[in-house]
Structure 1
Amino acid sequence: MDELRRIDLNLLLTLHALLAEKHVTRAALRLHKSQPAVSHALAQLRVQFDDPLLVRREGRMALTPRAMALIDPLGEALGTLNGLLREQQFDPAAARRRFRLTLSDYSSRIILPPLVRHVRRHAPGIDLAISQASRDAMLAQLVDGEVDLALGIFPDRPEAIQVQDLFPEEFISLADKNTLSAKGGLTLDEFLQRPHVKLALRPDAYDEIEKALGELGLQRHIAVALPHWGAAVELIAGTDLILTAASRTVGAMQPHKALRRFKPPFALPSFSYQQAWHVRREDDPGHRWLRQAVFDCSQPGVHLP
């Protein structure tokens, strides 16, 4: 116990964040502190442990052997203390908080409306700040603590990013029915001869469709590239354009009677739409509530109370 009297326990929380993030700025974001305050705490910790703890190697910060040896015992000790002092279960009705989410145009249409209704009904003190970014930018924002939750497809992600599958999805193609045969589909040659609409934040993005065609040594002609799914569907009627996108992007076909859905004439893998967050948010009760709300609101045919 004598050693505990010599150290401010708040420094151990800072040390835990620094060991996890290996970066002073990201540790400051995680702790909701200023960067100078965390730098000052690191200086104190270096004195306390008689070790630099974080050193710069090849342009990046790295842990010393002493710091690496502290990771597991420090995590266990703080976990035990947290269990002793754990607050009451998160009460969404009384919560006052702002969550930052980054969504695609797709999930803004599919998941955001039921999520907002659910939040307003059960947690009116919770605010949602929504932004849009590319997949790589979403992951970078999660790592840097700029956003709390991201919705998208994350096949390749940093180790610190956790994901949960929300629902399975597949690609479909869409065209004006007057430009299709009576069977309603196209051969691969016919498909490649037609101009295409591409849904992407960046016109030059190499997405799953381009990757699948590239593996076959093929390439489609992109006549229109845009980031707005709603506008993309509206472009198709009365033209020879083809749109290939996630099936829920198209939604109900009743408003689009001039269009017809068909299966793309080459193999496109199905995929899981996901929500992603940084491990630093894993045990946050409010964040857990939000993740559960997003999951519930994304389930097909589910009507929340």
Structure 2
Amino acid sequence: MDDLERRLRATNLNLLPILRAVLRHRNLTRAAEALNITQSAVSNSLRQLRAHFGDELLLREGRRLRLTEKAKQLIEPLDAALGAVGQVMAAPSFDPATSTRRFRVATADYVTAITAPEMAALMSREAPGVAVQMITARGRSAGDLHAGDIDMIISPRQVIEALSYQAPALARELSLEPLGREPFVCLARKDDEAFAAGLTVEAYLARPHASFHLDLVAHASLEHGYLIEHGVEQFNRVLTSDFTVLPLIAARSDCLVLAPRSLARLFASSLPLQFAPSPLPIPDLELVMVWPRRRSAEPELAWLRGLLKRCAAASLAD
């Protein structure tokens, strides 16, 4: 028996998933909830881990806990080790026809609107026992992904690039794949004659608008990003975190709306709406699928990515 094997046998490897949960959440209650064990069990395990490493791992600062330098150094090798063990112990393949796996995907409501109907149809034929929960993305979604609370984020590429500057360590742990690209168009009520005749940029900016704004802190909007970057102002009569509400507002008011072309097509087929290219050169919306790098080898996620690409292809096509 070599020294490594001897040390492994002397170590309680059941502590490692608990260590990863504690380091991810930095909160014993949330770690216990994620592991479905009691908080006292997490506390007892943390005492053993502190003794093993000769380090506090977590230090209290006011009402929050912060990681020690030793704890920070453990994150990457711990993820790699548990990921490797997961691959060894996992089933050799993923069969969507017999699986009962449940996925959670965080994204904008409009992405759900253009992918979920086709997804339900495909899954009924190919993966009848699989479930996909589409939840609204939020400012903390990258942290939810890191913690394992969700499986994937579908987001504009520009938002993920901004994350690389705001939280570079977190961004390095993510992998991404393009889902599709489309332009923004401008929506207005069907009987809006001035819009039908064509609006100058000045006339467009003088009109009231309804627009997307993610939450109180982050706008996560290419429209607002463009306005801020170029020092342009418009009056936003209504701000909402739901893309799918915007066409409804345009159909009932004098508000102009910028929306992805696929969403405009969907709603213009059933509401009194017209749409045209945006008077402002807003960058195209580039959607990407984002998942934890440590899970890149999982066949389940590879299948989900393929499914989503099939669902998006028809809606995002020219």
Q: TM-score, normalised by structure 1?
A: 0.78
For 1:71 and 1:139, locate their aligned partners in 2 and report how far apart those are by CA, in whole Å. Answer: 16
Partner in structure 2 of residue 209 of structure 1: 223
For 1:50 and 1:109, locate their aligned partners in 2 and report how far apart those are by CA, in whole Å. Answer: 52
Within the alignment, does 1:62 sit opposite 2:52 as a pair?
no
Partner in structure 2 of residue 244 of structure 1: 258
Q: Quick check: 1:184–1:262 contact (8 Å CA) kept in 2?
A: no
> After superposition, where does 1:278-297 map in structure 2 within 5 Å?
278-279=292-293, 281-297=295-311
Partner in structure 1 of residue 141 of structure 2: 138
Residue 277 (structure 1) aligned to one of 291, 294, 310 = 291
For 1:232 and 1:32, locate their aligned partners in 2 and report how far apart those are by CA, in whole Å. Answer: 40
CA shift digits 1:52-88 (9 cap, x unpaired)? 33334574321343x4555566566556655554431
Partner in structure 2 of residue 268 of structure 1: 282
Classify the secondary structure of the residue corresponding to 1:298: helix
Within the alignment, does 1:172 sit opposite 2:176 as a pair?
no
Partner in structure 2 of residue 300 of structure 1: 314
Within the alignment, does 1:218 sit opposite 2:223 as a pair?
no
| Alignment: residue pair count | 300
Partner in structure 2 of residue 11 of structure 1: 15
The structural deviation recorded for 1:268 is: 1.2
The structural deviation recorded for 1:39 is: 2.8
Partner in structure 2 of residue 40 of structure 1: 44
Q: TM-score, normalised by structure 2?
A: 0.75
For 1:239 and 1:49, locate their aligned partners in 2 and report how far apart those are by CA, in whole Å. Answer: 64
Extract unaligned runs of 5+ from structure 1. none
> After superposition, where does 1:155-170 map in structure 2 within 5 Å?
155=160, 156-157=162-163, 158=167, 159=170, 160-170=173-183
Within the alignment, does 1:114 sit opposite 2:114 as a pair?
no
Extract unaligned runs of 5+ from structure 2. none
For 2:214 and 2:197, locate their aligned partners in 1 and report how far apart those are by CA, in whole Å. Answer: 30
CA shift digits 1:227-258 (9 cap, x unpaired)? 55455324435854321111111025863696
Residue 53 (structure 2) aligned to one of 45, 49, 56 = 49
For 2:315 and 2:132, locate their aligned partners in 1 and report how far apart those are by CA, in whole Å. Answer: 24
For 1:233 and 1:266, locate their aligned partners in 2 and report how far apart those are by CA, in whole Å. Answer: 18
Within the alignment, does 1:197 sit opposite 2:197 as a pair?
no
The structural deviation recorded for 1:301 is: 6.7
For 1:17 and 1:203, locate their aligned partners in 2 and report how far apart those are by CA, in whole Å. Answer: 29
For 2:262 and 2:33, locate their aligned partners in 1 and report how far apart those are by CA, in whole Å. Answer: 35
Relative distance call for 1:272 and 1:34 in structure 2 (3 A) is farther
For 1:105 and 1:243, locate their aligned partners in 2 and report how far apart those are by CA, in whole Å. Answer: 16
Q: Percent identity?
A: 30
